[in-house]
Structure 1
Amino acid sequence: MSTKTTTTAQKLQMTAEDYENMIFGSYARWCESVTINAREFQKVIANSAVNKWYLMEYAKCEEKFATMTQRYDENIPVKDYQTFYNDCTYGMFNIRPTALLQEIKKTRAVSYLKVHGVKIPSLTFNQN
C-alpha cells in the first residue's frame, strides 16, 4: 500500500484540466435534469448558491470514493476506478436543493408588456 495520498484525478488517470471539465460536465447534466427549458437551465447553471450546494454534495460523493478506494491505490485497473467513481457520483441525480430551485424558477404574471410603447395584454412573462 502506498504511503502517499492519491487524488481522485490520479486514480482516474486524468489531467487537472480533464478532471475540472468532467466536474463541470457533470454539473451541466445535473442542471439539465432539474430544469424544463433553456431559460431555467441558464438560470440554474449560473446560480452561485446552487453551484456551491452542488459542489458540497459532489465532494461527499468523492469522499465516499476516496474512502472506499484508499487501500487499493496500486491494485485496481483505472477502468474499475472509473466505474466505481461513476457509481459513487451518480447519486447526485437523485438529490436537489428544492428550496433554491423553486426560488430560481419562479415566474411572475404581468397584466401587460410594453414593447416600443405598445401594450400587449394578458400574457405571462418570466420576469426573473
Structure 2
Amino acid sequence: MKTTTEKLAITEHEYEMMVFGFYSRWCESVITNMRDFQAILSNAAVNAWFLMELTKCESEFHLSTDRYIDLPTITKIDMQNCYNESTFRLFNLRPMPLLEKAKTKIPKGTQVFNSILQN
C-alpha cells in the first residue's frame, strides 16, 4: 500500500508544509481575531486533535484510492483532488471546549505578533 506522500507525489517536507498550511487555514476559520488565532495555532491540545482528525480523513482517502492507484489513467491531480475532498470536512469540525480553553490561556493585554511587527 502506498503512503499519502507517494500517492500525492510529494516529498515528506512538502507534505509537512501542506499539513501546516492546512492547519493554519483551519485555525483562521475558527477564530475572530489575531490574538485568538495565535492562541489556537500554538495550542498543543488543539493541534493533537486536528492531527487525529486529519488521520481519520487520510484513512478515508486511502480507502477511496487504494483500488485505483495502479490504473494508468489516474493522475497526480486526481489524487490531489481526492485528498482535498477527503480532508475538506475538517473545516466543519470545531472542538469548542478545546478552542475555548486555548483562548483563555493567553492573558488579556498580551501583545500579539501582528502588533509587535507594526511597532
User: Given the two structures, how large is their TM-score scaled by the length of structure 1?
Assistant: 0.79
Name 1:61's counterpart in structure 2: 57
Name 2:114's counterpart in structure 1: none
What secondary structure is seen at the aligned counterpart in 2 of 1:36? coil
Deviations, residues 57-114 of structure 1 (Å, cap 9, x unaligned): 000000000011111112111111111110000000000111111122239xxxxxxx
Name 2:103's counterpart in structure 1: 105
Alignment length (residue pairs): 108
More strand by share: 1
Do residues 40 (structure 1) and 36 (structure 2) align? Answer: yes
Unaligned runs of 5+ in 1: 108-124
Do residues 27 (structure 1) and 51 (structure 2) align? Answer: no
Instruction: Pick the structure with greater CA Rg.
Output: 1
Do residues 12 (structure 1) and 15 (structure 2) align? Answer: no
Name 1:126's counterpart in structure 2: 108
Letter in 1 for 2:28: E
More helix by share: 2
Deviation above 3 Å: which 4+ runs of structure 1?
none
Q: CA RMSD in A?
A: 1.8
